[in-house]
Amino acid sequence: MLDVSVVGLEVSDIPDWERLERSCFAQPWSAAQLESGLTQGSLAGLGAKRDGVLLGYLAYYLICESLEILNIAVAPTERGQGIGAQLLAAVLAQASAHGATRAVLEVSAGNQAALALYSRFGFVEVGRRPRYYPESGADAILMERGV
C-alpha cells in the first residue's frame, strides 16, 4: 500500500484537483463547479497527497446522519496501490466521528473497479436506475452501508 497523507481539500487545491479530474473522467467537473461546491457547502473533498502531489480525491456530502459519497478518483498511473481504499476508509471514519449512521453512493453498473472497491468496504446494492448513464446506457447502482 502506497503511503499517502489524506487531507481536507481547500479552494487552493482546485487547480490540482481539476487537473486530476480531467485525467480521470470524460465529463469532468470544472474548476468553477468545484469552487462553488466547496464554498457553498454542497460538497467537501478529501485528497490523497504524496510529497504535496495530489494523487487521488474523494468528494462527499455529509448531512445529519447520512454520508453521501459523490465521487472518488485516483490518477491513472497510481491506481491499484491502495489509495482509493485509504480515501474511503478516511471518509467513513470522519463521518462516524460526526455521528453519521449510513453511507450512500451511486455507481455505474459497468464500473468494475469501483464496484469491487465499494463491495470490499461492505456496500450493498439497494436499488437501480435503469440506463441512467446516457453515454454508455449503463444502469446506476445505488449502494449503502452502515457507518
Chain residues binding ligand COA by CB under 6 A are: 24, 71-74, 79-85, 107, 111-114, 116-117, 120
Identity of the residue, 32 or 89, whose beta carbon is nearer to ligand COA in the bound complex? 89
Identity of the residue, 37 or 82, whose beta carbon is nearer to ligand COA in the bound complex? 82
Q: Which residues pair with 116 in a beta bridge?
A: none
CB of 4 to ligand COA, least distance (A): 10
Closest CA to 21 of 59, 67, 50, 68: 59
CB of 80 to ligand COA, least distance (A): 5
4: Cβ–Cβ under 8 A, 6 or more apart, which residues? 48, 49, 50, 55, 56, 83, 86
DSSP characters for 50-98? ETTEEEEEEEEEEETTEEEEEEEEE-GGGTTSSHHHHHHHHHHHHHHHT
Identity of the residue, 93 or 99, whose beta carbon is nearer to ligand COA in the bound complex? 93
CB of 96 to ligand COA, least distance (A): 19
Cβ distance 65 to 100 under 8 Å? Answer: yes
Identity of the residue, 99 or 122, whose beta carbon is nearer to ligand COA in the bound complex? 122
Cβ distance 124 to 142 under 8 Å? Answer: no
CB of 46 to ligand COA, least distance (A): 12
- CB closest to ligand COA, residue no: 84
